[in-house]
């Protein structure tokens, strides 16, 4: 994988101040636009406004309306025209304003984006990134908090990537834009304002898509998670020390490709695993991950692989969402059910 370098001095975050995930994403887009004239950003309000989350802030001013374009308000049209642009050799980066607003583009995604390379025997790959702010925890009203990853990871031909840290937000977005395959890039919107000492001025390593990372080593059980649930899992692992558990945390970073090797190696070491995500559990990513761990690590397991997920309900209204989202207590409760007495 390549190492990306930045256009210097063009960011709002100074070297001395910690950067937010939103700033890191903005910098990744800016650097991608500067590095490759084929990169074009399309979306609703991405121009003058800079996006409702300001991820495209300043990009139209810096690169012009042809490179960062306010489109009509029509998600199928945005993605459909982006397909055509990619067919011509451009490298479009599409912004869907919110998770639930991406659904009108679902047919374009499933029937064309995911299949064009395969349909044409590789003659027409679609290097196309679809950025989707996803997940809850921001007090959003209905249709602003969906975790839609399961719809996408069930569609062969798509890569599904989600950063959980400021550094990965930069690196994985650069990797997604550089990829010759379509990438659904899920941005955990409640982490947009999370901060890191990482400075956007430093050259950042672009991580390969499809590699999980161990965020916290642990000897007694492993929490496997991604995106918005990573900070919750790290908090739970810290709290678990009081109960005498040394919990490790794996950040998948990419759901497709799924880094089975890393996950299996870690779980074989601990013999106990809990998969944590905020989307509904039934038919969710955790079901697939738990099944694969069981298939690969059965003889190393001390307990069934458990899942901690959002309930199987439509996303709740904001005043009730804290009951839906997996929190530290629900995670520790699951850890407590990992058959310790038999271990």
Partner 1 sequence: MTVLDTPAWRPRTDAAPLLPDPEPFRLLGTPEAAALDPALLRALYGQLVRGRRYNAQATALTKQGRLAVYPSSTGQEACEIAAALALQPQDWLFPSYRDTLAVVARGVDPVEALTLLRGDWHTGYDPHTHRVAPLSTPLATQLPHAVGLAHAARLSGDDVVALAMVGDGGTSEGDFHEALNFAAVWKAPVVFLVQNNGFAISVPLAKQTAAPTIAHKAVGYGMPGRLVDGNDAAAMHQVLTEAVERARTGGGPTLIEAVTYRIDAHTNADDATRYRDDSEVAAWRAHDPIAVLERELTSRGLLDDTLRDSTAADAEEMAASLRERMHSDPQLDPMDLFAHVYAEPTPQLREQQAQLQAELEAERQS
- Interhelix angle 166-178/21-35, rounded to 10 degrees, is 30
Among 20, 258, 326, 332, contact with partner 1 (rule: CB under 8 A): 258
* 85 lies in the site for partner 1, by CB under 8 A: yes
Q: Which part of the chain contacts partner 1 (CB under 8 A), choosing from 10-18, 26-34, 67-75, 213-221?
A: 67-75
CA atoms within 13 A on the CB side of 179: 26
Residue 59's Cβ-side half-sphere holds a number of Cα atoms within 13 Å equal to 31
Contact 109/132 with Cβ under 8 angstroms? no
195-196 and 183-188: which strand pairing?
unpaired
- 104 contacts partner 1 (rule: CB under 8 A): yes
Select the span of 16-24, 26-34, 192-200, 253-261 touching partner 1 (CB under 8 A).
Answer: 253-261
Write down the catalytic residue from 6, 40, 144, 159: 144
The least distance separating partner 1 from the CB of residue 69, rounded to whole angstroms, comes to 9
Which of 2, 118, 197, 339: binder of partner 1 (CB under 8 A)?
A: 118
| Interface with partner 1, residue 82, by CB under 8 A | yes
| Count of residues that interact with partner 1, criterion CB under 8 A | 49
Query: Which run of H or E residues covers position 280?
Result: strand 273-280
Q: Which of 113, 104, 108, 102 is nearest to 156 (CA)?
A: 113
Nearer to partner 1, 25 or 83 (CB): 83
By CB under 8 A, the residues from 209 to 228 that bind partner 1 are 210
Binding part of the chain for partner 1, among 21-29, 155-163, 193-201, 319-327 by CB under 8 A, reads 155-163
Radius of gyration of the chain (CA): 20
Element (H, E) at 248: strand 247-251
Does the footprint of partner 1 cover residue 125 (CB under 8 A)? Answer: yes
User: Based on CB atoms, which residue is closest to partner 1, 86 or 166?
Assistant: 86
d(Cα 13, Cα 93) in Å, to the nearest integer? 23
- Residues in region 47-66 near partner 1 by CB under 8 A: 66
Report whether 28 contacts 11 (CB < 8 A).
no
Residue window 161-200: x/- pattern of binding to partner 1, with contact defined by CB under 8 A: ------------------xxx-------------------
Phi/psi region, residue 311 (left: phi>0; alpha: psi -120 to 50; beta: rest), is: beta
Comparison of 124 and 320: residue with beta carbon closer to partner 1: 124
- Active site annotation includes 143: no
As a whole number of angstroms, the distance between CA 152 and CA 172 comes to: 17
Closest residue by Cα to residue 223 from 326, 78, 116: 326
Position among 124, 291, 313, 320 found at the interface with partner 1 (CB under 8 A): 124
Cis peptide before 257 (omega within 30 of 0): yes
DSSP assignment of 66-85 equals: TTEEEPPS-HHHHHHHHHHH
From 215, 212, 211, 263, select the one nearest 235 (Cα to Cα): 215
Is residue 111 involved in binding partner 1 (CB under 8 A)? Answer: yes
Q: Which of 8, 48, 88, 319 binds partner 1 (CB under 8 A)?
A: 88
Closer by beta carbon to partner 1, 14 or else 111: 111
Which span sits near partner 1 by CB under 8 A: 7-15, 18-26, 257-265, 317-325? Answer: 257-265
The verdict on 298 binding partner 1 (CB under 8 A) reads no
Reduced to 3 states (helix: H, G, I; strand: E, B; else coil), residue 65 is coil
104, two tokens: 């009108």
| Residues in 9-48 that interact with partner 1 by CB under 8 A | 40
Q: Which residues are catalytic?
A: 144
Point out which residues bind partner 1 (CB under 8 A): 40, 66, 71-72, 74, 76-77, 79-90, 92, 104, 107-108, 111-112, 115-125, 156-157, 159, 179-181, 210, 256-261
């Amino acid at each position: 994988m390549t190492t990306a370098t930045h256009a210097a001095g063009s960011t709002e975050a100074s070297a001395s101040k910690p950067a937010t995930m939103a700033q890191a994403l903005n910098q990744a887009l800016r650097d991608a636009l500067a590095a490759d004239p084929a990169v074009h950003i399309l979306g609703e309000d991405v121009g003058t406004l800079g996006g409702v989350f300001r991820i495209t802030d300043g990009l139209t001013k810096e690169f012009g309306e042809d490179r960062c374009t306010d489109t009509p308000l029509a998600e199928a049209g945005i993605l459909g025209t982006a397909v055509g642009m990619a067919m011509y050799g451009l490298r479009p980066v599409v912004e869907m304003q919110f998770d639930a607003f991406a659904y009108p583009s679902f047919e374009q995604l499933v029937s064309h984006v995911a299949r064009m390379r395969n349909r044409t025997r590789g003659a027409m790959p679609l290097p196309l990134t679809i950025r989707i702010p996803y997940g809850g925890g921001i007090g959003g009203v209905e249709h602003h908090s969906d975790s839609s990853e399961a719809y996408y990871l069930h569609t062969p031909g798509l890569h599904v990537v989600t950063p959980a840290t400021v550094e990965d937000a930069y690196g994985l977005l650069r990797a997604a834009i550089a990829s010759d395959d379509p990438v659904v890039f899920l941005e955990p919107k409640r982490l947009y304002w999370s901060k890191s000492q990482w400075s956007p001025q430093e050259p950042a390593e672009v991580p390969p898509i499809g590699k999980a990372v161990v965020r916290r080593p642990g000897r007694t059980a492993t929490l496997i998670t991604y995106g918005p649930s990573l900070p919750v899992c790290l908090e739970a692992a810290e709290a678990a020390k009081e109960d005498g558990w040394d919990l490790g945390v794996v950040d998948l970073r990419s759901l497709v490709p799924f880094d089975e090797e890393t996950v299996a190696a870690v779980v074989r070491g601990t013999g106990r695993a809990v998969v944590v995500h905020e989307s509904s559990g039934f038919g969710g990513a955790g079901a697939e991950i738990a099944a694969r761990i069981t298939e690969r690590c059965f003889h190393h397991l001390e307990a069934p692989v458990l899942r901690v997920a959002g309930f199987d309900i439509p996303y709740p209204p904001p005043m009730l969402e804290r009951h839906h989202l997996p929190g530290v207590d629900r995670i520790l409760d699951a850890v407590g059910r990992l058959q310790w007495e038999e271990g």
